[in-house]
Amino acid sequence: EAQVTQNPRYLITVTGKKLTVTCSQNMNHEYMSWYRQDPGLGLRQIYYSMNVEVTDKGDVPEGYKVSRKEKRNFPLILESPSPNQTSLYFCASSHSGAAYEQYFGPGTRLTVT
Amino acid sequence: GENVGLHLPTLSVQEGDNSIINCAYSNSASDYFIWYKQESGKGPQFIIDIRSNMDKRQGQRVTVLLNKTVKHLSLQIAATQPGDSAVYFCAENGGLSQKLVFGQGTRLTINP
């Protein structure tokens, strides 16, 4: 089954404790992206990757890192999480040139206390 | 994946009626305009797209209309079913980053 998977689905952590949210897709997509979804602000792009070893900032990259060492994986790293990073996070992927049709993962609900 | 926006516009329709969801967009340079559906507890799901050089596109039970003059996008859902209950987002796509820029969403509720 074609899908985007994220782990963990739910995470409660404390300020400053490094964490990684994994994202994997099995559709051989070149383009991958991370979004966060917040009440009243909608979905905003954090980082994106056009292909392996090619990443760039989205609209809200502060406090996040990403890497793209393999085509299927695009982890999101929070080196020192803060409460304002409490949010619902989505990973998405698509074929390059067809990013209007992105496939989204199920989401990761992160709470930073 | 629920959208918990406190100020989401809401549209309530009777089952079997047609639904029309509207969206105003801002970037005239976008290449594509898209509709996504987000059901409770899930990530957004692609419904239909329309390229900027078109004004209408039809899918299965859905039609998207694009009015570039007034920067308006609409999604028409025919014979609305209970499974259509969700939050619907319009989005724009284009540029080097190929990012999706989402609107705030509309919650569609189906009355039996």
- Closest by CA to B111, choosing from B8, B13, B5, B28, is B13
| pLDDT tens digits for range B62-75 | 999 999 999 999 99
3-state secondary structure A7-76: ECCEEEECCCCCEEEEEEECCCCCEEEEEEEECCCEEEEEEEEEECCEEEECCCCCCCEECCCCCCECCE
Whether B88 has its CB under 8 Å from any CB of chain A: the answer is: no
**pLDDT at B1 > cutoff 50:** no
Residue B6 contacts by C-beta under 8 Å, 6 or more apart in sequence? A39, A40
Query: Chain A contacts of B41, Cβ < 8 Å?
Result: 106-107
> How far B66 CA sits from the closest chain A CA (Å)?
15
Residue A62 contacts by C-beta under 8 Å, 6 or more apart in sequence? none
| pLDDT tens digits for range B27-84 | 778 889 999 999 999 999 999 999 999 999 999 999 999 999 999 999 999 999 999 9
| pLDDT tens digits for range A82-111 | 999 999 999 999 998 888 899 999 999 999
Residue B40 contacts by C-beta under 8 Å, 6 or more apart in sequence? B1, B2, B86
Query: Chain A contacts of B43, Cβ < 8 Å?
Result: 4, 90, 92, 104-107
List chain A residues with pLDDT less than 70.
Answer: none
How many contacts (CB atoms, under 8 Å) link A and B? 80
Whole-angstrom CA distances from B27 to B7, B24, B102, B103 are 23, 10, 11, 12
